[in-house]
């Protein structure tokens, strides 16, 4: 959960904020209490203006002066939710409740964080606690009922998934020939069921005009793409010849018009202009179908020169919460949601360029013992687990300080420059490239130049004001070159337009 607004360099982390706190309420002076309230009001103003990083800084400063006020933690928890730091949000909400078990907003915050992490039963427990305290509160009852519906649906889906009658994959069960192209359709056509250059060029133009590709063609492209991904290992090795350029892009998150702008600036993908897109193609932005279908079409057109890695948002829980499932259902059907999930399950987890640059969506590992062979052998045809190599490849983040720390997201780990150095030396690599986090310039270089973040969705969610970026290298010079760019206009469809209605309850 490109997952991905957090910026550990500019915000005060929870651990920082808890250094040297007063341990006795009587030790807090009236002056400190007054100053803490002023800081809280400043934080609230930043939050209202969607400057969540500055809001977190101010809430943290207030906590440092007076750590015994539950709303400070509750408000900071809300800001962490907005920056996808779900681990910190959980911790702050729990701290708020330890100070005041009747502070109902903290139950909501903790439930929201658990919902975002797919821990619906834990979320339901908090909503239930609120309804017991306030049985006549309609708002609390609505939230409880909505979460309960999700829990029941998941239980039902698990039950039918265990039935052998449902074991057959969606890709195998679809009868392509029975799908009909309407006579009125005037968009691009596959040629003998295959993607061509003319098809992709026409498709990008049709999508630009908000036209829709017929379900038959979508199914054909998805099934063919799945077959290609199934043949690859979890770690794909890429050879870039001398003097040849190679482009690495980060999160796209359904921002189709910004994706087209990358191709306008850097050239369309081709055998002479290869690309790697490093996960989080979908969710949040409301043109996710257009993004993923364009990228998969290029994958079919140039299977050895166009690469796609799985991100944390290429997963069922994220798609259910952050918009992709809703968008696919709106534009097509629930069956296609299942087919997309099957394709996402087979996306490679990482890529290695010239055996020197390792690229993954999230980051490095809880153990120093992980090797490239371990990554290649990782079984990936599943939903991401909550720990282990696959989880960490999709969810981890770098931190400036040495060592490791619990993830601010609640999943994966945070790793320092020493962890990066050890991993690179063990595997004879020069540096790692990852995505997963918004950066003001679209990229950031950390860990003595050995850990690079690239994020390609400018003005993320139409609110963050960040630039997007992509990286280019050549086969004989693996030094990264960065290109930053601003967002371009898009049709008047807001981000998260198809997100789970649950988000509207907070």
* pTM (2 d.p.): 0.90
Residues in CB range of 183: below 8 A, 6 or more apart:
none
Q: Can you tell me the distance from the alpha carbon of 293 to that of 278, in angstroms, rounded to the nearest whole number? A: 15
According to DSSP, the residues that pair with 235 across neighbouring strands are 350
Half-sphere exposure of 80 (CA within 13 A, CB side): 32
Residues in CB range of 477: below 8 A, 6 or more apart:
none
More confident residue, 17 or 498: 498
Percent of the chain beyond pLDDT 90?
A: 78
Q: Residue 167: what pLDDT?
A: 57
Q: Can you tell me the distance from the alpha carbon of 412 to that of 317, in angstroms, rounded to the nearest whole number? A: 16
- What mean pLDDT do residues 386-410 have? 96
* Residue 311 banded pLDDT, cuts 50, 70, 90: very high
Reply yes or no on whether the pLDDT at 307 is more than 80: yes
More confident residue, 374 or 134: 374
Write out pLDDT tens, residues 317-339: 899 889 999 999 999 999 999 99
* Residue 151 banded pLDDT, cuts 50, 70, 90: confident
More confident residue, 157 or 439: 439
Q: Can you tell me the distance from the alpha carbon of 95 to that of 107, in angstroms, rounded to the nearest whole number? A: 11
**57, 143, 160, 217, 483 from 435: Cα distances, Å:** 24, 33, 36, 30, 15
Q: Which of 95, 59, 96 is nearest to 76 (CA)?
A: 59
Tokens of 407: 């993830």
CB atoms under 10 Å from CB of 18, counted, come to 14
* Residue 50 banded pLDDT, cuts 50, 70, 90: confident
Catalytic member of 313, 351, 436, 490: 313
Q: Residue 163: what pLDDT?
A: 56
- What mean pLDDT do residues 442-469 have? 96
Q: Can you tell me the distance from the alpha carbon of 100 to that of 4, in angstroms, rounded to the nearest whole number? A: 30
Angle between helical axes of 334-345 and 324-331 (0-180°, round to 10): 130
Residues in CB range of 105: below 8 A, 6 or more apart:
71, 74, 78, 96
State how far Cα 432 lies from the chain centre.
18
Instruction: Judge whether 313 counts as a catalytic residue.
Output: yes
Q: Residue 141: what pLDDT?
A: 84
Q: Provide the 3-class DSSP secondary structure of residue 427.
A: helix
Lowest-pLDDT range of 127-141, 275-289, 423-437? 127-141
Which helix (H) or strand (E) is 145 found in, with range?
A: helix 138-161
Write out pLDDT tens, residues 83-125: 889 999 999 999 999 999 989 899 989 998 998 888 889 999 9
Q: Which of 476, 474, 418 is nearest to 450 (CA)?
A: 418
**3, 38, 280 from 315: Cα distances, Å:** 11, 42, 10
Reply yes or no on whether the pLDDT at 204 is more than 70: yes
Q: Which domains does the chain have, with CATH numbers?
A: 1-103 (1.25.40.10), 187-497 (3.60.21.10)
Pairing, β 413-415 against β 404-406: antiparallel
Of 155-159, 234-238, 382-386, give the range with the top mean pLDDT: 234-238
Reply yes or no on whether the pLDDT at 15 is more than 50: no
Percent of the chain beyond pLDDT 70?
A: 93
Residues in CB range of 170: below 8 A, 6 or more apart:
335, 338, 339, 342
Reply yes or no on whether the pLDDT at 341 is more than 90: yes
8 A C-beta contact, residue 470 and residue 36: no
Of 21-30, 159-168, 395-404, give the range with the top mean pLDDT: 395-404
Lowest-pLDDT range of 61-75, 146-160, 281-295, 441-455? 146-160
Q: Residue 14: what pLDDT?
A: 45
Tokens of 334: 């629930």
Reply yes or no on whether the pLDDT at 150 is more than 80: yes
Rg (CA), the chain: 23
Q: Residue 7: what pLDDT?
A: 39
The backbone region for 181, taken as left when phi is positive above 0, alpha when psi lies in -120 to 50, beta otherwise, is beta
Q: Can you tell me the distance from the alpha carbon of 227 to that of 31, in angstroms, rounded to the nearest whole number? A: 66
Residues in the chain: 506
What is the average pLDDT score of the chain? 92
Q: Can you tell me the distance from the alpha carbon of 306 to that of 286, in angstroms, rounded to the nearest whole number? A: 24
- What mean pLDDT do residues 47-66 have? 94
């Amino acid at each position: 959960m490109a997952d991905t607004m957090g910026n550990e360099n500019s915000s005060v982390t929870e651990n920082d904020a808890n250094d040297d706190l007063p341990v006795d309420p009587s030790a807090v002076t009236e002056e400190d209490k007054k100053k803490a309230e002023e800081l809280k009001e400043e934080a609230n103003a930043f939050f209202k203006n969607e400057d969540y990083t500055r809001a977190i800084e101010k809430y943290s400063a207030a906590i440092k002066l007076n750590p015994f006020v539950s709303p400070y933690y509750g408000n900071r928890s809300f800001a962490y939710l907005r920056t996808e730091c779900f681990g910190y949000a959980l911790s702050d909400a729990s701290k708020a409740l330890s100070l005041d078990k009747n502070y109902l907003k903290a139950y909501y915050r903790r439930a929201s964080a658990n919902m975002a992490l797919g821990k619906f039963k834990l979320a339901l427990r908090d909503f239930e606690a609120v309804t017991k305290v306030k049985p006549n509160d309609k708002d609390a009852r609505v939230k409880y009922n909505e979460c309960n519906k999700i829990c029941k649906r998941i239980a039902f889906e698990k039950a039918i998934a265990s039935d052998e009658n449902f074991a057959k994959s969606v890709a195998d069960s679809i009868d392509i020939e029975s799908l009909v192209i309407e006579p009125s359709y005037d968009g691009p056509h596959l040629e003998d069921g295959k993607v061509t250059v003319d098809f992709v060029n026409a498709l990008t133009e049709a999508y630009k005009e908000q036209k829709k590709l017929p379900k038959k063609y979508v199914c054909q492209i998805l099934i063919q793409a799945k077959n290609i991904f199934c043949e690859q290992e979890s770690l794909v090795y890429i050879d870039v010849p001398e003097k040849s350029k190679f482009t690495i892009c980060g999160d796209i998150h359904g921002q189709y018009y910004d994706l087209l702008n990358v191709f306008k600036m850097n050239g369309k993908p081709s055998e002479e202009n290869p690309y790697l897109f490093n996960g989080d193609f979908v969710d949040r932005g409301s043109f996710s179908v257009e993004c993923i279908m364009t990228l998969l079409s290029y994958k079919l057109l140039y299977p050895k020169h166009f690469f796609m890695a799985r991100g944390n948002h290429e997963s069922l829980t994220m798609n259910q919460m952050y918009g992709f499932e809703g968008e696919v259902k709106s534009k097509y059907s629930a069956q296609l949601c299942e087919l997309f999930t099957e394709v996402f399950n087979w996306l490679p987890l990482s890529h290695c360029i010239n055996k020197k640059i390792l690229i993954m969506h999230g980051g490095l590992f809880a153990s120093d013992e992980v090797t490239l062979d371990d990554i290649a052998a990782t079984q990936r045809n599943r939903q991401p687990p909550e720990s282990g190599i696959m989880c960490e490849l999709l969810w981890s983040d770098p931190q400036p300080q040495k060592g490791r720390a619990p993830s601010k997201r609640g999943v994966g780990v945070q790793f320092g420059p020493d962890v990066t150095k050890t991993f690179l030396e063990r595997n004879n690599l020069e540096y790692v490239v990852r995505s997963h986090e918004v950066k003001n310039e679209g990229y950031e270089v950390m860990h003595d130049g050995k850990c690079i973040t690239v994020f390609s969705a400018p003005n993320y969610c139409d609110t963050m004001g960040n630039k997007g970026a992509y990286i280019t290298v050549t086969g004989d010079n693996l030094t990264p070159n960065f290109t930053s760019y601003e967002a371009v206009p898009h049709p008047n469809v807001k981000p998260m337009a198809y997100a789970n209605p649950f988000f509207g309850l907070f």
